[in-house]
């Protein structure tokens, strides 16, 4: 199997794009002169600025040929999905059989059967692996990653706080794919993350995330206005919580509520349209 060299959430990389030498030195690339492109006698404008119009009688007007038009560039490339290669750590460990889980196919919904008690797991090892799998869109990897993270946050909330620095890069990588289903999944996990220790731990996870807002929030600022405009219609799928704009607003509110006194000013710096929901 060939190694995947594509970077998740990245643009063109490698030797496919020529390097602009003039950007790093005084040298400059010049094109080789072509004798056929030189000006010939009788082809110039004679010192005039305005190009003379040449009218050719072609008979009745024909409709413009739409097929010959070049395709327009996407004016909203910031919202376009980025690369998401299938090279996550979760996929590698799952295919190798190194994870203490198996899928329990129940009658109503699937769940994970853990071969070891979750409290006895090494969170520094397993939790970043499952977070790295959040950008997976293929089954069963997508289900395993999301459900494993939720199970670990619920059962071992007291062991999550020291692992926060290791979770930032997987979260940032997943958000940088800019795929709607991946972003929705990560936002729901972020809400569960900041709320998992509010009962016993005093909400320190929300405060621990504040220094990492610069890695997490820029993509949220891009999609914060991505709402469904239904007019006077009813969104019957709102129970699934797939509306990206509303989900981002909910997540920012949870980050501010549990992030302490410095949370709002840091959120406002990266998401200028955000309005505080905390009454001081």
3-state secondary structure of 2: coil
Gap between the Cα atoms of 237 and 169, Å rounded: 31
The pair phi, psi for residue 113, each rounded to 5°, is -100, 115
Gap between the Cα atoms of 94 and 97, Å rounded: 5
Quick one: which of 103, 80, 178 has its CA closest to 135?
A: 178
Gap between the Cα atoms of 174 and 136, Å rounded: 9
Quick one: which of 171, 253, 270, 255 has its CA closest to 208?
A: 255
Helices (H), the chain: 89-96, 123-132, 141-155, 164-176, 180-195, 204-208, 213-223, 244-258, 263-270
Quick one: which of 194, 169, 200 has its CA closest to 267?
A: 194
Structure letter (DSSP) for residue 167? H
Gap between the Cα atoms of 215 and 171, Å rounded: 9
Residues 271/216, Cβ–Cβ less than 8 Å: no
- For tokens 């000013």, what's the residue? 265
pLDDT in tens, the chain (280 residues): 566 777 887 765 455 567 776 777 777 777 788 888 777 777 766 666 666 666 666 656 555 555 556 666 655 678 888 888 888 889 999 888 888 988 888 778 888 888 989 888 888 999 999 999 998 988 888 999 999 999 988 888 888 889 999 999 999 999 998 888 999 999 999 998 998 887 766 678 888 899 999 999 999 998 888 887 777 888 777 777 878 888 999 899 888 888 888 888 998 999 899 888 887 6
Angle, in degrees to the nearest 10, between helices 213-223 and 164-176: 30
pLDDT at 13: 47
């Amino acid at each position: 199997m060939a190694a995947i060299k594509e970077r998740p959430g990245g643009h063109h990389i490698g030797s496919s794009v020529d390097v602009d030498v003039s950007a790093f030195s005084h040298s400059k690339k010049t094109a080789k002169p072509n004798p056929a492109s030189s000006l010939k006698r009788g082809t110039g404008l004679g010192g005039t600025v305005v190009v003379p119009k040449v009218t050719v009688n072609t008979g009745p007007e024909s409709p413009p040929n739409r097929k010959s038009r070049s395709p327009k560039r996407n004016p909203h490339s910031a919202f376009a999905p980025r690369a998401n290669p299938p090279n996550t750590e979760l996929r590698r460990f799952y295919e190798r059989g190194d994870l203490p889980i198996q899928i329990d196919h129940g009658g109503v919904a699937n769940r994970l059967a853990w071969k070891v008690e979750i409290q006895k797991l090494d969170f520094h090892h397993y939790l970043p692996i499952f977070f790295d799998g959040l950008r997976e869109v293929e089954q069963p990897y997508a289900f395993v990653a999301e459900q494993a993270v939720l199970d670990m946050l619920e059962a071992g909330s007291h062991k999550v706080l020291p692992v926060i620095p290791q979770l930032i890069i997987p979260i940032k990588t997943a958000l940088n794919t800019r795929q709607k289903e991946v972003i929705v999944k990560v936002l729901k996990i972020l809400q569960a993350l900041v709320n998992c220790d509010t009962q016993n731990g005093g909400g320190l996870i929300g405060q621990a995330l504040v220094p990492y807002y610069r890695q997490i929030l820029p993509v949220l600022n891009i999609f914060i206005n991505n709402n469904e405009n239904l007019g006077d219609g009813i969104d019957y799928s709102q129970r699934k919580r797939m509306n990206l704009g509303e989900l981002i607003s909910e997540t920012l509110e949870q980050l501010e509520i549990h992030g302490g006194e410095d949370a709002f000013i840091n959120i406002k710096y990266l998401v200028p349209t955000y309005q505080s929901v905390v009454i001081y």
